[in-house]
Amino acid sequence: MKMATQTYTIGTVQDFLLQIGRVVVAGNMELAVFRTSDGVIYALENRSPHPKGGPLAEGIVSGHFLYDPLYDWKIDLRTGEVQAPDQGSVVTYPVSLSGDIVTVSL
């Protein structure tokens, strides 16, 4: 059974600095939100896929990749996939823009 999608307003484009992660709570989910240098906004669950876990919002963004600061894992912001030689994935959520308003669907 598929759960209904819920949409949350998480701020305006200006709230998300280029290449700087920000923690946002939407419903009962803690998200790490990033705006890449080309202006695209991505939302991921703020939890490292590494077995020891940890936050992702403090990661370093380069292009469309996030570098996990604790374990130096490279994660594709578009898909949530951890890049080889490491393995794993992060849950990603669709982000929409309506003018300057940023929403995420969970």
pLDDT tens digit sequence for 67-104: 998 898 999 999 999 999 999 999 999 999 999 999 99
Residue 1 domain-assigned (yes or no): no
Instruction: Name the band, by pLDDT with cuts 50, 70 and 90, for residue 3.
Output: low
Assess if residue 57 is contained within a domain: yes
Q: How many domains does the chain have?
A: 1
Q: Examine residue 73 and state whether it is found in any structural domain, yes or no.
A: yes
Whether residue 81 is contained in a domain is answered as yes
Is 26 part of a structural domain of the chain? yes
Q: Does position 4 have pLDDT exceeding 80, yes or no?
A: no
What's the CATH number where 18 sits? 2.102.10.10
C-alpha–C-alpha distance, residues 4 and 20, integer Å: 30
pLDDT score recorded for residue 69: 81
Write the pLDDT tens digit of every residue in 40-69: 999 999 999 999 999 999 999 999 999 998
Is the pLDDT at 1 greater than 60, yes or no? no
Domain range for 57 is 7-105
- Which among 52, 14, 51, 50 has a CA at the least distance from the CA of 33? 14
Residue 88 placed within a domain: yes
CA–CA gap between residue 55 and residue 51 (Å, rounded): 12
Tell me, yes or no, whether 2 lies in a domain. Answer: no
What is the model's pTM?
0.94
